[in-house]
Structure formats: C-alpha cells, structure tokens
Amino acid sequence: MAAEILTLDGPLDAVYARCRDVVRARGVIAYPTDTFYGLGADPRDPEAVKRIFAIKGREAGQPILLLLHDRSEVAAWASAVTPSAERLMERFWPGPLTLVFPAAPHVLPELTGGSGTIGLRVPGNELTRELLRNLGTALTGTSANRSGGRNPRTAEEVMREVGDRVDLVLDGGATTGDRPSTVVDVTVEPPRIIRQGNIDIAASA
C-alpha cells in the first residue's frame, strides 16, 4: 500500500498532529531535513526502530542518528557532554553537523549499533525543528532510501524509493542539501571527524 502524502497546503497544526498520530502508533514517516529526506520513528520504541531497519534493508550493527528540536534535549540521549562538544553545538547548531556522544544507558542498542555511542543533530531546517517540537520527541534521522540507494531530496524520490514501505510522507518541497551532514566524534578529545559533509570543521576552526 502506498504511503499517505501530506503537503503544507492545509493548516500546519493538523499536519503536525497527523504526523504525531502516526509516530505514536509505531509508524514511520518520511520528512524533509536540512540535508535529505529522513525516515522518522520514535527512537524510544524498539518495534518502530526495527521497522526502520526493515524498510531500508539495513543490517543490524549500523547506528542510526537522531534529530532533536534543540540542544536542550541532548542530555536526554547523551551520558556526557564535553566542553568541545558544547563549543561545536554553540557554533554549528542548528545545522548539518552530527555529533557522536556516549549514549545514555536507556538508548536502544539498535540505535547505537552496539557502539555505546549515539549521533545527535539539531537540523537547520525550520520546518523539521517545528515538526520535532510538535511531536514532543526526537526522531530517527537516517535517509529515506533503501541502503545503498540515492539520498532523496524530494517527496517524489522518497515515494519511488520507499513509498510502499512507510506510512506517511511529509512533502515539504525539495531539500537544499547536496551533501550529508558532517559527523564528528565528541567522545574523544580533541574531537575526531568521522565523515566530512556539509560543514568543514577544520576550515571553520
């Protein structure tokens, strides 16, 4: 069955409420971020997280990052925040920078890939942040494609990739990102760049 598609033409409160209903019912939504469209499920619900892996055809052991409404939510998912992490958050959030923290004890091992760490990001897309605020929870933020597939920048691309596997697609237009987020490990000092993406940390130093 093809996913329900929501546009931003109607009242936004109703759009966010529908997304919230789907997520709370262990559903999976596809939604725009500041890089590409992501697959969103409640990261506290192991069954919903398992659906993410099934949709992507992704093997266990590969971590999944989370998107947050603002940096005040970091403490709910990370067990420690270094001064270097604080400086990076202050400088680059909201934006396409994923920081890898030591995971809090309650974080599902499926999200950490067994690493004991969790990637967190406050996205630069205002629509995404407003969605997260209305949901009242973080969302998984892995790209809305099959593993190895092209990262989707439009709702149409999402539908071609996984439209028969997700419950709802929030069509927020084309995303502006042409590269994934930069990923930085802040469990070590100094922080270590894992993936160079939209933000050049070294050049910004």
CATH number at 104 reads 3.90.870.10
The answer, yes or no, to whether residue 202 has pLDDT greater than 90, is no
- The pTM of this model reads 0.95
State pLDDT tens for residues 121-132.
999 999 999 999
Q: How far apart are CA 34 and CA 110, in angstroms?
A: 24
Question: What's residue 203's pLDDT?
Answer: 58
pLDDT band at residue 176 under the 50/70/90 scheme: confident
- Report CA-CA distances (Å) from 144 to 67, 85, 115, 153, 204: 14, 27, 23, 9, 29
Contacts of 190 (CB under 8 A, 6+ apart): 84
Q: Which pair of tokens denotes residue 201?
A: 């940390």
- The mean pLDDT of 57-65, rounded to a whole number, is 92
**How is 52-85 classified by DSSP, letter by letter?**
HHHHHTPPTT----EE-SSGGGGGGTBS---HHH
Q: Evaluate if residue 59 carries a pLDDT over 70.
A: yes
Tokens of 44: 């506290």
Q: Average of pLDDT values for 83-99?
A: 97
Which pLDDT value is given to residue 198?
Answer: 84
The count of domains in the chain is: 1
Decide if pLDDT at 152 tops 80.
Answer: yes
CB of 65 closer than 8 Å to CB of 58:
no
So what's the pLDDT on residue 200? 82
The parent domain of residue 147 ranges over 4-204
Q: Tens of pLDDT along 63-73?
A: 999 999 999 99
What's the confidence (pLDDT) of residue 168?
A: 98
